[in-house]
Amino acid sequence: MYVNLIDESSIGQSNLTIAVAQAEAIPGDSVANLDKVRLLSKEAATKGADVINFPEKFLTGYEPQLLKQMGDSALITPDDDSVLFLRQLSQRLALTIVVGAPTMINAVRRISSLIATPDGNMDFYHKQHLFHSEKDWFIAGTEDKKIVVKGWKIGLGICYDAGFPEHARRLALDQCDVYLVSALFSKIIGRQELSVWMPARALDNTIYVAMSNYCGTTGGWQTCGRSGVWSPMGECIAQAKENEGELLIVDLEYGAIKSARESERMLSDYSSIYC
């Protein structure tokens, strides 16, 4: 069975402007980190962004030992003040805001992306592929998450999710145009991982990939920065430096997806064989 992977209603639509935030978090201080979110989101909105993405667990930093010491009180819940703050910020700026955080939802600990939208709503995506060191405290999510911004379909991933090609492939088969990843990549092996995974997920599926990583230190790891955006042909079209905070603003063109799929037919060939 052939699956139509181009949503004909979307062809010719306006560009999507995406902001990729690279920053250093204050360990365990969600108030201070929310203020960083506020400042970077305001800058992104001023520069015309439609959506902004932040690193994995940014509201607390990627701080496993500190979080265990602080206990469940450090985890973000749906009725937390920070959730209300993000909802109001998104409404005020007319900007979709995606922020990583450790959460407690329905008495289950998750590694999540908080998704605040300009209509005042808040949604959550829960990391599905937990790194081995995360499994003793967090439970993996079981559902993919797709959001729509200006007609663009955006599929969410968190760090290790991107190392599993099936994750991005499912989202692409569900007609996602962008794979939006919140991450922590370190200077030890993370530099190699992100340099391979991100362009591969883009070219594998002829979609855009946008990834936000930390700079500086979090949880004892020296992070490698290099947040970026990759084209549907797997080319890096914008990338932050390794050691500095940065806000990338990139216009995504829908025509680039259609053009890529005219020359690279992995998705349509896959669907004709396996679907």
Q: pLDDT tens digits for 164-222? A: 999 999 999 999 999 999 999 999 999 999 999 999 999 999 999 999 999 999 999 99
pLDDT band at 243 (very low <50, low <70, confident <90, very high): very high
165 within domain boundaries? yes
110 within domain boundaries? yes
Q: Residue 118 maps to which CATH number?
A: 3.60.110.10
Q: Which residues, 6+ apart, have CB-to-CB distance to 97 below 8 Å?
A: 37, 41, 51, 52, 54, 86, 89, 90, 114, 115, 116
User: How many domains does the chain contain in total?
Assistant: 1
Q: Whole-angstrom Cα distance, residue 34 to residue 14?
A: 30
5 within domain boundaries? no
pLDDT band at 2 (very low <50, low <70, confident <90, very high): very low
Six token digits for residue 8: 């004909």
Q: Which helix (H) or strand (E) holds 204?
A: helix 190-205
Domain that holds residue 237: 15-274
Write down the pTM of the prediction. 0.95
Q: Which residues, 6+ apart, have CB-to-CB distance to 38 below 8 Å?
A: 89
pLDDT band at 3 (very low <50, low <70, confident <90, very high): very low
Output the pLDDT for position 5.
Answer: 55
Q: Whole-angstrom Cα distance, residue 184 to residue 215?
A: 9
Q: Rounded to 5 degrees, what angle do the CA atoms 80, 85, 87 make?
A: 100
265 within domain boundaries? yes
263 within domain boundaries? yes
Q: Whole-angstrom Cα distance, residue 130 to residue 101?
A: 14
Average pLDDT score over residue span 112-134: 98
Q: Are the C-beta atoms of 120 and 91 separated by less than 8 Å? A: yes
10 within domain boundaries? no
9 within domain boundaries? no
34 within domain boundaries? yes
Strands, E, within 184-232: which ranges? 208-212, 217-218, 221-222, 228-230
Average pLDDT score over residue span 117-123: 98
